[in-house]
Chain A
Amino acid sequence: MRIRFEYARVEPGQFVGHLDLMRALERAIRRAGLPVAFSVGFNPQMKVAIAAPLPVGVVGRRELMDVQFAEDVEVEAVVKGLAAQMPAGLEMLGGVAVDEFAPSLQATLRECEYEVVLRADAELVQGAIEGFLGREAVVVERKGKRGRVTKDIRELVRGLDVVVGEGEVVLRMVLAAGPTGGAKVGEVLGVLGLGDEIVRVERTRLVFGE
Chain B
Amino acid sequence: MTEHNWRLSGALRRVERPVRYAGGEWNSRRKDWNAAQVHLALAYPDAYEIGMSNLGLQILYSIVNDLPWALADRTYAPWGDMEREMVAAGIPLFGVESRRSAADFDVLGFSLPYELNYTNVLLMLDLAGLPLHGRERDGRHPLVIAGGSAAHNPAPMSGFFDAMVIGEAEEAIVEVLDAVRGSGWRVGGSTGEREALLRGLGRIEGVYVPTIDGAGARTVRRRIVEPLPPIVTRPVVPFAEAVHDRAAIEIQRGCTRGCRFCQAGFIYRPLRERPQEEIRHGAAALLASTGYDELGLLSLSSSDYPGIDGLIRDLSCSHPTVRLSLPSLRIDSFSVGIAEAIQRRKGNLTFAPEAGTQRLRDAINKGVSEDDLLNTANDLFSSGFSGMKLYFMVGLPGEREEDVEGIVRLAREVKAVARRAGGGRARVTAAVSTFVPKAHTPFQWAAMETRDSVLGKQRTLKDGLRGINMSWHDVRESWLEAVFSRGDALLGPVVERAYRDGARFDAWSDQLREESWLAAFEAEGVEPGAYAHREREPQERLPWDHIDVGVTKEYLWREYVRSRDGEITGDCRSGACAGCGLMETGSCVARVSAGAGVGL
- The answer on a CB contact under 8 Å between B26 and A24 is yes
Shortest B525–chain A CB gap in Å is 46
Which of A16, A27, A33, A57 lies in contact with B290, CB distance below 8 A? A27
Given A24-B239, A89-B24, A199-B6, A57-B18 contact (CB < 8 Å)? yes
Residues of B within 8 A of A30 (CB): 291-293
A53 within 8 A of partner (CB):
no
- The answer on a CB contact under 8 Å between A27 and B292 is yes
Task: Name the residue of chain A whose CB is nearest to the CB of B238.
Answer: A20
Distance of A199 Cα from B1 Cα, bound (Å) = 9
Q: A1-44: contact bitstring with B at CB < 8 Å (1 yes, 0 no)?
A: 00000000000110111011101101111110100000000110
Contact-size category for B: 20 to 34
Distance of A56 Cα from B15 Cα, bound (Å) = 11
- The answer on a CB contact under 8 Å between B18 and A23 is no
Interface core residue of B13, B22, B291 (most chain A CB under 10 Å): B291
Shortest B561–chain A CB gap in Å is 52
- The answer on a CB contact under 8 Å between A87 and B291 is no
**A:28-70 near B, CB below 8 Å:** 28-31, 33, 42-43, 56-57
Task: Name the residue of chain B whose CB is nearest to the CB of A32.
Answer: B291
- The answer on a CB contact under 8 Å between A196 and B26 is no
Residues of A within 8 A of B28 (CB): 88
- The answer on a CB contact under 8 Å between A29 and B291 is yes
Which of B241, B288, B292 lies in contact with A20, CB distance below 8 A? B241
Residues of B within 8 A of A23 (CB): 239, 241, 245
Which of A16, A27, A43 lies in contact with B22, CB distance below 8 A? A16
Distance of A31 Cα from B237 Cα, bound (Å) = 12
Shortest B321–chain A CB gap in Å is 8
Interface core residue of A19, A20, A29 (most chain B CB under 10 Å): A20
B459 within 8 A of partner (CB):
no
Task: Name the residue of chain A whose CB is nearest to the CB of B99.
Answer: A12
Residues of B within 8 A of A13 (CB): 22, 24, 239
A108 within 8 A of partner (CB):
no
Distance of A200 Cα from B23 Cα, bound (Å) = 18
B17 within 8 A of partner (CB):
yes
A96 within 8 A of partner (CB):
no
- The answer on a CB contact under 8 Å between A199 and B291 is no
B50 within 8 A of partner (CB):
no
Shortest A154–chain B CB gap in Å is 25
Residues of B within 8 A of A43 (CB): 346
Contact-size category for A: 20 to 34
B289 within 8 A of partner (CB):
yes
B9 within 8 A of partner (CB):
yes
**B:440-492 near A, CB below 8 Å:** none
- The answer on a CB contact under 8 Å between B19 and A17 is yes
A163 within 8 A of partner (CB):
no
Which of A19, A28, A29, A87 lies in contact with B25, CB distance below 8 A? A87
A106 within 8 A of partner (CB):
no
Given A15-B19, A196-B10, A198-B13, A26-B291 contact (CB < 8 Å)? yes
B240 within 8 A of partner (CB):
yes
Residues of A within 8 A of B241 (CB): 19-20, 23
Residues of A within 8 A of B349 (CB): none
A126 within 8 A of partner (CB):
no
Given A20-B239, A57-B13, A87-B26 contact (CB < 8 Å)? yes
- The answer on a CB contact under 8 Å between B239 and A16 is yes
Residues of A within 8 A of B26 (CB): 24, 27-28, 87-88
Which of B19, B21, B289 lies in contact with A31, CB distance below 8 A? B289
- The answer on a CB contact under 8 Å between B292 and A15 is no
A85 within 8 A of partner (CB):
yes
- The answer on a CB contact under 8 Å between B18 and A27 is no
Distance of A119 Cα from B245 Cα, bound (Å) = 39
Shortest A44–chain B CB gap in Å is 9
Distance of A57 Cα from B290 Cα, bound (Å) = 25
Shortest B554–chain A CB gap in Å is 51
- The answer on a CB contact under 8 Å between B9 and A199 is yes
Interface core residue of A15, A19, A85 (most chain B CB under 10 Å): A15
Residues of B within 8 A of A31 (CB): 288-291
Interface core residue of B17, B19, B288, B293 (most chain A CB under 10 Å): B19
- The answer on a CB contact under 8 Å between A27 and B17 is no
Interface core residue of B1, B13, B239, B346 (most chain A CB under 10 Å): B239
B224 within 8 A of partner (CB):
no
- The answer on a CB contact under 8 Å between B240 and A20 is yes
Given contacts A12-B23, A27-B290, A31-B291, 5 further A-B contacts (CB under 8 A): A23-B241, A57-B12, A87-B26, A88-B23, A88-B28
Taking beta carbons and an 8 Å cutoff, which residues of B are in contact with A? 1, 6, 9-10, 12-13, 17-19, 21-26, 28, 237, 239-241, 245, 288-293, 346
Q: Give the 5 A-B CB pairs with smallest separation, nearest first.
A: A27-B291, A88-B24, A30-B291, A12-B24, A15-B18
Taking beta carbons and an 8 Å cutoff, which residues of A are in contact with B? 12-13, 15-17, 19-21, 23-24, 26-31, 33, 42-43, 56-57, 85, 87-89, 119, 196, 198-200
A-B contact pairs, 17 of them (CB 8 A): A12-B23, A15-B18, A17-B17, A20-B240, A20-B241, A21-B239, A23-B239, A24-B239, A27-B292, A28-B291, A30-B291, A43-B346, A85-B291, A87-B24, A87-B26, A198-B10, A199-B6
